Amino acid sequence: MSALESLFVLIAALCAVGGCANVLYDEAVDVSAISATSEAKYFDSAGEVSGTIYFDYDKYDLISSSITQIRQLANDFKTNSSMKIRVEGHCDERGTREYNLALGEKRAKAVAEVLILNGVPSNKITTVSYGEEKPVAYGSTEASWAKNRRAELRLL
Amino acid sequence: MNHRTMVFLFTFLIFSGAAFPDLKIEITEGSQDPIRIAIVPIGWNLDDPSRGYLHQMVSSDLASFGEFETLTPQEMLSLPRNEEEVFFRDWKLLDVDYLVVGTASQGEVPEEVSVSFSVIDVTREKTLRRSISSGSINYLNSLAHVMSDRIYEEINGIPGIYSTKIIYINKEGSSNGKYHLRLADIDGQNDLALFSSYEPLMSPDWSSDGKKLAYVSFEEGSSKIYIQELYTGNRKGLKSEGGINSSPNWSPDDRYLSAVLSKAGNPDIYIYDIKENSWKQLTDHFGIDTEPDWSPNGKKIIFTSNRSGSPQIYEMTVSNGKIRRKTFEGSYNARARYTPDGKSFVFVHRMDNLFHIAVQNLRTGKLRILTDTSLDESPTISPNGNVIIYATKNQGENILAGISYNGKTKFILPTDLGEVREPSWSPILKQSRSTRLF
């Protein structure tokens, strides 16, 4: 029996039972297996952390001890001016990821501003935000969260 | 190859496919009033041992989100294979609301199975729909999903979601664990990594035609947006600007992406024209504007902004740039996603320092908190609007969880892949061709 004939037999069987109104035919289309995968090269993250500044929840302003800390780092940098500074902003896990990406950038920029005010040329500074994507502490406690709300400075 | 080997191989194929899905829905709180449906074992007119599994796959689909309660064959008083053999009293005795009976035969080509079945309203003793589903014998789960979608639509009047998929981000558990963009069928089968990296991945978004993905990758040292074709794996990084490049979101016609760039000094919403490879700035405010989502009719974009002092939801009319604030309850409302009918949005709402998923009606402003889990984020809603999947933390583990739109059914999707988050639900995928016969 050809394919078309088989189909008609099926339909006839259905119709014989209770009339032919509105038989629907759904055909699953070929499910081509999705197997495409690819991988990124390893990104060589720059240098070691030379300083870490901490922030309050939902905030990106700097307390005075942080400003002092950054000033110190700016002075250290000036003796080594062939290098560049990368400031990375981070958040704790609370709140949405994209909003935290923006908050992390505010933190990194706040630190960069103080560096510039203390004589570091702006073209030597890069700011990057990782939002909540790179925590140093896991767990959902105040202590873990406080460790993650930070900006890290790396000399390149 | 002899018959016995074929039988063994075939059985192995059936079971290996169904064996260990990475994400499997586990209902934690069921609906109080599910529809009772009996999928009678499909009469099998083909010569192979896979008989009997179709009814199980269909039952499993229908029970997934708590909307249906299914019967096992052991509970059934009779096993009719067509409408003529149905004795309604056997089903009314069991309080069954709907009945599905049918038979399977060889399709157009040797590898194809055709199932003719009837969806029957037991209470009214009336056949709702006669239908034929066909598909490859090598992908019986796809055929089952097509049948489940048809049954669901005949009973509920809206499309079923059993052929849909999700993409999500997975981070391996070890401290230098890799990040993966993963894809899975909604029943947890066929889970695989589409892209892997040593640096973070974020914000995956499914295109409206179901063929492309957009996401954020830190592989070059900071956030950049990539578009990847699902079937070929080809990926392209968007022309990147300094600062944040993130939160990509496809327009309903897939001609544009809305996204967030901070190149002008602070995060604003931009539109990227894919064909022209150009950016257009939409918001221009010194605060944080982020997390855009296009409305289903393409006329508006909903987004998060802290322009009033803390994150709230705003809606912009794309044609004239007019912006209206939408949320007024609570001090943190973010990451809105329109419901498919465009009348409401699901979002993250903080109350008493706990982050829940909530839904708000755009016209009335009425807000309803959906979840009682906390540290909730990234809600994604099924293309028929009935189910929401989101990311949360459960006993220290970052997992995906779900809830029906009416809030009555709750489930989790446990996994042993490590951390999972940021789910994005596919559109209705064209997994079947439907024709009306007569």
DSSP string, A3-54: HHHHHHHHHHHHHHHH--TTEEEEEEPP-------EEPPPP---S-EEEEEE
Question: Structural domain tally of chain B?
Answer: 2
CB contact (8 A) between residue B348 and residue A26: no
Distance CA B131, CA B340 (A): 27
Domain at B236, CATH number: 2.120.10.30
- Most confident among A43-57, B171-185, B297-311 (mean pLDDT): B297-311
CA distance, residue B290 to nearest chain A CA (Å): 7
CB contact (8 A) between residue B136 and residue A31: yes
**pLDDT for res B150:** 96
CB contact (8 A) between residue B232 and residue A36: yes
CA distance, residue A132 to nearest chain B CA (Å): 10
Comparing alpha-carbon positions, the chain A residue that sits nearest to B291 is A98
**pLDDT for res A156:** 82
**pLDDT for res B276:** 95
SS3 content of chain A, % helix, strand, coil (to 5): 40, 20, 40
Residue B22 pLDDT > 90: no
**pLDDT for res B15:** 40
Whether the CB-CB separation of A52 and A108 falls below 8 Å is answered with no
Closest CA to B215 of B182, B262, B192: B182
Q: Do the domain assignments include residue B4?
A: no
Mean pLDDT of B113-142: 93
DSSP B158: S
Which residues of A, range 59-88, sit inside 8 Å of B by Cβ?
A: none
CB contact (8 A) between residue A101 and residue B304: no
Task: Using the 3D structure, point to which of B156, B180, B196 is the last residue of a domain.
Answer: B156
Neighboring chain A residues of B82 at a CB cutoff of 8 Å: 13, 17
Q: Do the domain assignments include residue A66?
A: yes
Q: Do the domain assignments include residue B18?
A: no
Q: Do the domain assignments include residue B21?
A: no
Same domain, B150 and B215: no
Query: Does A1 contact chain B (CB < 8 Å)?
Result: no
Distance of CA B267 to the CA centre of its chain: 29
Q: Is B352 left (phi over 0), alpha (psi -120 to 50) or beta?
A: left
Mean pLDDT of A123-139: 95
CB contact (8 A) between residue A37 and residue B200: no
CB contact (8 A) between residue B247 and residue A98: yes
pLDDT band with cut points at 50, 70 and 90 for residue B50: low
Mean pLDDT of A96-114: 97
Cα dist. B187→B17, B164, B319, B399, B431 in Å? 12, 9, 39, 16, 15
Same domain, B119 and B204: no
Same domain, B140 and B53: yes
**pLDDT for res B11:** 42
Same domain, B313 and B385: yes
Comparing alpha-carbon positions, the chain B residue that sits nearest to A99 is B290
CA distance, residue A114 to nearest chain B CA (Å): 17
Higher pLDDT, B421 or A36: B421
CB contact (8 A) between residue A98 and residue B194: no
How many Cα neighbours within 13 Å face the side chain of B267? 30
Residue with tokens 């034929």: B132
Higher pLDDT, B20 or B233: B233
Among the partner-chain residues B109, B267, B434, the one whose CB lies closest to the CB of A26 is: B434
Domain at A110, CATH number: 3.30.1330.60
> Roughly what angle, to the nearest 10 degrees, separates helices B140-156 and B53-63?
50
Same domain, B229 and B354: yes
Q: Which residues contact B90 (CB under 8 A, 6 or more apart)?
A: B76, B77, B78
CB contact (8 A) between residue A25 and residue B134: yes
Higher pLDDT, B432 or B226: B226
Task: Using the 3D structure, point to which of B156, B180, B213 is the last residue of a domain.
Answer: B156
Same domain, B145 and B181: no
Domain at B109, CATH number: 3.40.50.10070
Neighboring chain A residues of B246 at a CB cutoff of 8 Å: 98, 101
CB contact (8 A) between residue A94 and residue B235: no
CB contact (8 A) between residue A129 and residue B106: no
pLDDT band with cut points at 50, 70 and 90 for residue A37: confident
Distance CA B117, CA B149 (A): 13
> In chain A, how long is the greatest CA-to-CA distance?
94
Question: Structural domain tally of chain A?
Answer: 1
How many Cα neighbours within 13 Å face the side chain of B330? 23
DSSP B311: -
CA distance, residue B151 to nearest chain A CA (Å): 11
Same domain, B405 and B354: yes
Six token digits for residue B229: 């074709």
Same domain, B228 and B98: no
The model's pTM: 0.90
Higher pLDDT, B232 or B171: B171
Q: Do the domain assignments include residue A79?
A: yes
Residue B150 bridge partners (DSSP)? none
Instruction: Give pLDDT tens digits for B338-362.
Output: 999 999 999 999 999 999 999 999 9
CB contact (8 A) between residue B311 and residue A95: yes
**pLDDT for res B169:** 97
**pLDDT for res B9:** 42
Same domain, B335 and B302: yes
Which residues of A, range 18-57, sit inside 8 Å of B by Cβ?
A: 18, 20-43, 45-46
| Predicted complex ipTM exceeds 0.85 | yes
**pLDDT for res B106:** 87
Closest CA to B210 of A96, A31, A27: A31
**pLDDT for res B24:** 81
Query: Does A113 contact chain B (CB < 8 Å)?
Result: no
pLDDT band with cut points at 50, 70 and 90 for residue B129: very high
Q: Do the domain assignments include residue B49?
A: yes
**pLDDT for res A96:** 96
CB contact (8 A) between residue A99 and residue B230: no
Comparing alpha-carbon positions, the chain A residue that sits nearest to B175 is A136
| Residue-range definition of the domain harbouring residue A129 | 61-155
Neighboring chain B residues of A105 at a CB cutoff of 8 Å: 243-244, 262, 267
Query: Does A7 contact chain B (CB < 8 Å)?
Result: yes
- Share of residues in chain B with pLDDT > 70 (%): 92
Whether the CB-CB separation of B186 and B164 falls below 8 Å is answered with yes
CB contact (8 A) between residue A24 and residue B433: no
Q: Do the domain assignments include residue A141?
A: yes
Q: Do the domain assignments include residue B430?
A: no
Neighboring chain A residues of B309 at a CB cutoff of 8 Å: none
Neighboring chain A residues of B197 at a CB cutoff of 8 Å: 39-40
Q: Do the domain assignments include residue B20?
A: no
Q: Do the domain assignments include residue A119?
A: yes
Same domain, B179 and B128: no
Instruction: Give pLDDT tens digits for A76-94.
Output: 887 777 789 999 999 999 9
- Share of residues in chain A with pLDDT > 70 (%): 79
Mean pLDDT of A109-137: 95
How many Cα neighbours within 13 Å face the side chain of B112? 17
Task: Using the 3D structure, point to which of B92, B122, B156 is the last residue of a domain.
Answer: B156
Instruction: Give pLDDT tens digits for B217-272.
Output: 999 999 999 999 998 889 999 987 789 999 999 999 999 999 999 999 999 999 99
CB contact (8 A) between residue B231 and residue A36: yes
Q: Do the domain assignments include residue A8?
A: no
Q: Do the domain assignments include residue B373?
A: yes
Residue A27 bridge partners (DSSP)? B134, B433
Neighboring chain B residues of A102 at a CB cutoff of 8 Å: 244, 260, 262, 266-267, 288, 290
Same domain, B144 and B242: no
Comparing alpha-carbon positions, the chain B residue that sits nearest to A38 is B195
Neighboring chain B residues of A14 at a CB cutoff of 8 Å: 116, 118, 130, 132
Same domain, B223 and B299: yes
Whether the CB-CB separation of B236 and B225 falls below 8 Å is answered with no
**pLDDT for res B26:** 87
**pLDDT for res A77:** 84
Choose from B45, B130, B356, B395 for mutation: most chain A CBs within 10 A.
B130
Distance CA B431, CA B14 (A): 20
| Residue-range definition of the domain harbouring residue B350 | 165-425
**pLDDT for res A13:** 62
DSSP B200-250: -EEEEEE-TTSSEEEEEE-TTSS-EEEEEETTT--EEE----SS-EEEEEE
Q: In whole numbers, what is the pLDDT of chain B averaged over residues?
A: 91
DSSP B414: -
**pLDDT for res B14:** 40
Determine the Cα angle at B135 with ends B147 and B149, to 5°.
20
Instruction: Give pLDDT tens digits for B377-428.
Output: 999 999 999 999 999 999 889 999 999 998 889 999 988 899 999 999 999 9
